[in-house]
Amino acid sequence: MKKRIIIANWKMQLSFKEAKFLAKEILIKIKKKEKEKKKLKDFDIVLCPPFMSIAEVAKIFTTKENSKRNILSCGAQDCFWEEKGGFTGEISPLVLKELGCKYVILGHSERRQFLGETNEMIHKKVRTVVNLGLIPIICVGETREERDRGLKEHTILTQVSKALEGINLKIYQKIIIAYEPVWVIGSGQAIDSQEAEYMAKIILQRTIDIYPLPIVHNNIRIVYGGSINSTTVRSFINQETIDGVLVGSASLKAEEFIKMCELMPL
């Protein structure tokens, strides 16, 4: 079984000080659990703060307490598709790597919707991120209109195919694909876990169409995102194909996020 993962996307919800404080609070609570002999199970925890907070949050994760077990990793919420150049206002993935980021969320539905990101743009970002040794978290998901028209499978297959087109993963390169139905993000209501499992299997099959089985089994993880919290997380993570969760608003409270971590199975 693949190593599980829980990813916190803090979006643009926190100030510089708030993000720094929350990262410290989560690390402290994890250390406290371990001192109480309630050691969290072996899975990856990724925190994706706003851009301006990344450097300080990444520093927190280089402390002796964290680096000993690599409890927490830092991720970014987006990047540009070039390492450097005349791209005013954009974020270099190379700089993110220098700051200590290991993961980058790409193609989130909010960026597709509000900033006009296309499948082609997301593909270029994925290629650059993978080549730099970072791990892309590729978000895919259908809108309510697409679902009502019976296009949910087509939408997901297209997004996955376009994102990975022509990218030949090497044995040391990894990717994560996050299924996030657009119509539930921020609604507070997650979809049925069996439905999420069905869509995860659709994604899995497409990756099998693209890559050799050993690469799929060892280098690709599929996660679910969309109104996840401590009351719903277990129903998703216990599914056969879902390897983890991408958490939004529920990750903004340390107590709730740690509770979710405690519910993660082996």
DSSP string, 214-236: HHHHHHEEEEEESS--TTTHHHH
Tens of pLDDT, residue by residue over 59-91, are 988 766 565 556 799 999 999 999 999 999 999
Backbone angles phi, psi at 104, to 5 degrees: -140, 125
What number of other Cβ atoms are within 10 A of residue 196's Cβ? 26
Map out the domains of the chain with their CATH numbers.
5-262 (3.20.20.70)
For residue 7, the 8-state DSSP code is E
What are the distances in angstroms from CA 230 to CA 1, 141, 261? Answer: 23, 22, 9
Q: What is the pLDDT averaged over residues 107-115?
A: 95
Could you give the residue numbers annotated as active site?
108, 180
Task: State the average pLDDT for the chain.
Answer: 93
Query: According to the model, what pLDDT value does residue 113 have?
Result: 93
- Torsional class of 204: left (φ above 0), alpha (ψ -120 to 50), beta (otherwise): alpha
What number of other Cβ atoms are within 10 A of residue 235's Cβ? 17
Whether 8 shows a pLDDT value over 70: the answer reads yes
The pTM assigned to this predicted structure is: 0.95
Q: Locate all alpha helices (DSSP H) within the chain, ordered by sequence.
A: 16-35, 54-60, 64-69, 93-99, 109-115, 119-131, 144-148, 152-164, 193-210, 213-219, 233-237, 254-262
Burial of 114 per CB tally in 10 Å (0-12, 13-18, 19+): exposed
Q: What angle do CA 228, 11, 105 make, to 5 degrees?
A: 80
Cα separation, 170 vs 165, whole angstroms? 15
Query: According to the model, what pLDDT value does residue 266 have?
Result: 60
